[in-house]
Amino acid sequence: MPRAERAGKSAQSASPQNHATTTSGAFAERERIHSVLSSVFGIDTPRPEQIEAMEAIIKGKDLLLNQPTSWGKSICYQLPAVLLRESGVTVVISPLVSLMHDQTASLRKKGVGVASLDSGRTKSEQEFELLQLDSPELSLIYVSPERFCTEGFMSKMASRNVARLVVDEAHCVSAWGHDFRPAYLPSISCTRGTFQSAVKL
Going by C-alpha positions, the residue among 39, 22, 82, 23 that lies closest to residue 57 is 82
Average pLDDT over residues 17-46: 84
Q: Distance between CA 53 and CA 64 in Å, rounded?
A: 9
Q: Binning pLDDT at 50, 70 and 90, where does residue 187 land?
A: low
Q: Distance between CA 110 and CA 139 in Å, rounded?
A: 12
pLDDT of 63 over the 60 cut: yes
Predicted pLDDT of residue 22:
63
Average pLDDT over residues 29-47: 95
Q: Distance between CA 92 and CA 167 in Å, rounded?
A: 6
Average pLDDT over residues 77-102: 92
Q: Binning pLDDT at 50, 70 and 90, where does residue 24 land?
A: confident
- Highest CATH level, class, for 47-200: alpha beta
pLDDT of 196 over the 90 cut: no
Q: Distance between CA 165 and CA 197 in Å, rounded?
A: 10
Domain residues of the chain, as ranges? Answer: 1-39, 47-200
Average pLDDT over residues 76-104: 93
Q: Binning pLDDT at 50, 70 and 90, where does residue 66 land?
A: confident
List b or e across 137-146, with b for residues whose CB sees 16 or more CB atoms inside 10 angstroms. ebbbbbbbbb
Predicted pLDDT of residue 6:
39
129: which DSSP letter? H
Mean pLDDT score of the chain: 82
Average pLDDT over residues 20-36: 82
Q: Binning pLDDT at 50, 70 and 90, where does residue 109 land?
A: very high
Contacts of residue 190, Cβ cutoff 8 Å, sequence gap at least 6: 148, 149, 154
pLDDT of 1 over the 50 cut: no
Q: How far is CA 4 from the centre of its chain?
A: 43
Phi, psi at 19, each rounded to 5°: -65, -40
pLDDT of 104 over the 60 cut: yes
Amino acid of residue 137 = E
Q: Distance between CA 23 and CA 35 in Å, rounded?
A: 18
Q: What's the CA dihedral at 128, 130, 133, 137 to 10 degrees? A: 0
Phi, psi at 72, each rounded to 5°: 110, 40
Residues constituting the chain: 201
